[in-house]
């Protein structure tokens, strides 16, 4: 089977880590009978935007629809105002392809130090399933100032509740962002979390919210979680407020198996999860549409200050490729890549600066690719 993969290296360290990810995927294909890739590269990112004024044109989205998956490096550049690239490329891809699941494995590998005292690989091994297209990321919001007639009903209700109908033109200004949770959006991602728990032989699903304060939007999330849970009587369930779960991630990470969360809270707690597993350089992520085109990427940013130095850790990107293999149904190759990463980390001969070593990006990629070849030959 030949898979057609769209590669968007992006900005900063993106091209460097993607290079190593592709290297490992090609080696996995070399030792896995019947597996092959066709990689097609796209230039979208800061340089392309500054040269052409284009972020992600409609024709490119239509073309990307024909691919089996998208492999993304990183987005973000100090020459471009914050949010332009992220909203115009990353979020546009997620929304266009309805990648409603952001899947984040939080797994501590052997040989990687954990910042939590007394915790090892046996304590940190769970998944965070983050809703990826709703909540505070739907883009409903604005800033308003001045004594004027407000036509928009949302603005009118905010003014009335917070300030009265009239706003002092000289003193009062408000900004608001609306969080939206739909029954359809919540149900499908919560169900995905339960199915993942079954597939990965996990016995507990934890739902995250803030229903005690943001009661309108997250009471619906809770209701839907309870409804879906009835279809999975074999799986234990619980609720956790987002502030509490950050505490318990640190104190007892071994408790968690599958965590499902609305978009905003998932954005926050997955970065904490990355630190628990040893750092952003080890944290992959998948933006998944189970019935459509999915996209896989490291969760770290573009790290412009490290760009071009060949020092960034490519493991998060390599593991994002491993997630892509699993999503495509190539479980044997996916397991092979993960085993290779584990062996290289356990041996500790090749370590990038974030792991306390001096190895380069390419040296780490070479070591993992060589290990894939070695393990593949040995079965």
Query: What's the confidence (pLDDT) of residue 278?
Result: 95
Residue range 237-247: mean pLDDT, rounded: 97
Distance CA 171, CA 166 (A): 12
Catalytic residue among 172, 271, 335, 354: 271
Q: Which two tokens stand for residue 180?
A: 């939206």
Burial class (CB in 10 A: 0-12, 13-18, 19+), 157: exposed
Between 34-48, 59-73, 209-223, 355-369, the lowest mean confidence (pLDDT) is in: 209-223
Q: Which two tokens stand for residue 163?
A: 């300030």
Chain centre to alpha carbon of residue 323? 11
Q: Percent of the chain having pLDDT more than 90?
A: 84
Catalytic residue among 47, 68, 172, 267: 267
137 is catalytic: yes
Residue corresponding to tokens 């979390």:
193
Residue range 360-370: mean pLDDT, rounded: 98
Chain centre to alpha carbon of residue 294? 11
Question: Is residue 349 pLDDT above 80, yes or no?
Answer: yes
Residue 263's pLDDT band, with cuts at 50, 70 and 90, is very high
**Whether the Cβ atoms of residue 54 and residue 87 lie closer than 8 Å to each other:** no
Higher pLDDT pick, 324 / 153: 324
Going by the DSSP 8-state scheme, the letter that residue 180 receives in this structure is B
Count of CB atoms situated within 10 Å of the CB of 307: 18
Higher pLDDT pick, 170 / 47: 47
Residue range 341-358: mean pLDDT, rounded: 96
11 is catalytic: no
Topology, domain 113-133+181-276: Rossmann fold (3.40.50)
Residue 144's pLDDT band, with cuts at 50, 70 and 90, is low
Catalytic residue among 92, 119, 145, 210: 210
Residue range 35-53: mean pLDDT, rounded: 97
Decide: pTM greater than 0.85: yes
Distances in Å between the Cα of 22 and the Cα atoms of 32, 228, 325, 341 are: 15, 38, 12, 14
Question: Is residue 305 pLDDT above 70, yes or no?
Answer: yes
243 is catalytic: yes
Distances in Å between the Cα of 284 and the Cα atoms of 107, 116, 372 are: 10, 20, 18
Report residue 107: phi and psi, to 5°: -140, 125
Question: Is residue 277 pLDDT above 60, yes or no?
Answer: yes
For the chain, the average pLDDT equals: 92
Question: Is residue 219 pLDDT above 90, yes or no?
Answer: yes
User: Is beta strand 258-261 parallel, antiparallel or unpaired with respect to 284-288?
Assistant: unpaired
Query: What's the confidence (pLDDT) of residue 135?
Result: 85
Query: What's the confidence (pLDDT) of residue 191?
Result: 98
Distance CA 159, CA 172 (A): 11
Residue range 53-65: mean pLDDT, rounded: 96
CATH superfamily, with its number, for domain 1-109+282-379: Isopropylmalate Dehydrogenase (3.40.718.10)
Of 22, 97, 30, 113, nearest in space to 322 by CA:
22
Query: What's the confidence (pLDDT) of residue 328?
Result: 97
Between 11-15, 46-50, 90-94, 141-145, the lowest mean confidence (pLDDT) is in: 141-145
Catalytic residue among 3, 49, 137, 218: 137
Query: What's the confidence (pLDDT) of residue 216?
Result: 83
Residue 214's pLDDT band, with cuts at 50, 70 and 90, is confident
- Tens digit of each residue's pLDDT (9 = 90 or more) over 20-43: 999 999 999 999 999 999 999 999
Query: What's the confidence (pLDDT) of residue 125?
Result: 97
Residue 213's pLDDT band, with cuts at 50, 70 and 90, is confident
170 is catalytic: no
231 is catalytic: no
Please report, for the chain, the start and end positions of each structural domain, with discontinuous segments joined by +: 1-109+282-379, 113-133+181-276, 141-177
Catalytic residue among 168, 243, 251, 358: 243
Q: Which two tokens stand for residue 95?
A: 């929304």
3-class SS at 332?
A: helix
Query: What's the confidence (pLDDT) of residue 149?
Result: 44
Query: What's the confidence (pLDDT) of residue 165?
Result: 47
Query: What's the confidence (pLDDT) of residue 170?
Result: 47
Sign of CA dihedral 260, 263, 265, 271: positive
């Amino acid at each position: 089977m030949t898979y057609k993969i769209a590669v968007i290296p992006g900005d900063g360290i993106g091209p460097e880590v993607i290079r190593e990810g592709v290297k490992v995927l090609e080696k996995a294909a070399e030792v896995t009978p019947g597996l092959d890739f066709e990689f097609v590269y796209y230039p979208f990112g800061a340089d392309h935007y500054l040269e052409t004024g284009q972020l992600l044109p409609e024709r490119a989205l239509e073309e990307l629809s024909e691919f089996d998956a998208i492999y993304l490096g990183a987005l973000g550049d100090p020459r471009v105002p914050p949010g332009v690239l992220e909203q115009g490329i990353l979020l546009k891809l997620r929304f266009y392809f309805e990648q409603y699941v952001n899947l984040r494995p939080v797994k501590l590998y052997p040989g990687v130090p954990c910042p939590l005292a007394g915790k090892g690989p046996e304590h940190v091994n769970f998944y965070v399933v983050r809703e990826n297209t709703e909540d505070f990321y739907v883009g409903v919001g604005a800033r308003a100032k001045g004594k004027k007639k407000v036509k928009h009903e949302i603005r009118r209700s905010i003014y009335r509740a917070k300030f009265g109908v009239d706003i002092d033109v000289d003193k009062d200004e408000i900004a608001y962002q609306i969080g939206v949770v739909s029954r359809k959006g919540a149900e499908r991602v919560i169900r995905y979390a339960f199915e993942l728990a079954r597939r990965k032989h996990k016995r507990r699903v934890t739902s995250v919210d803030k229903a005690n304060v943001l009661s309108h939007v997250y009471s619906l999330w809770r209701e839907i979680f309870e409804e879906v849970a009835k279809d999975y009587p074999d799986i234990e369930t619980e609720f956790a407020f987002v502030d509490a779960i950050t505490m318990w991630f640190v104190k007892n990470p071994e408790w968690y198996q599958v965590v499902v969360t609305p978009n905003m809270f998932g954005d926050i707690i997955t970065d904490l999860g990355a630190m628990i597993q040893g750092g952003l350089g080890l944290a992959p992520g998948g933006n998944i549409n189970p019935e459509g085109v999915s996209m896989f990427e490291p969760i770290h940013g573009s790290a412009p200050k490290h760009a071009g130095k060949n020092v960034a850790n490519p493991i998060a990107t390599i593991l994002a490729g491993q997630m892509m293999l699993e999503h495509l149904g190539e479980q044997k190759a996916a397991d092979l890549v993960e085993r290779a990463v584990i062996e290289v980390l356990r041996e500790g001969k090749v370590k990038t600066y974030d792991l306390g070593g001096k190895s380069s990006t390419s040296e780490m990629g070479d070591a993992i690719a060589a290990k894939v070849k070695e393990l593949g030959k040995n079965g």
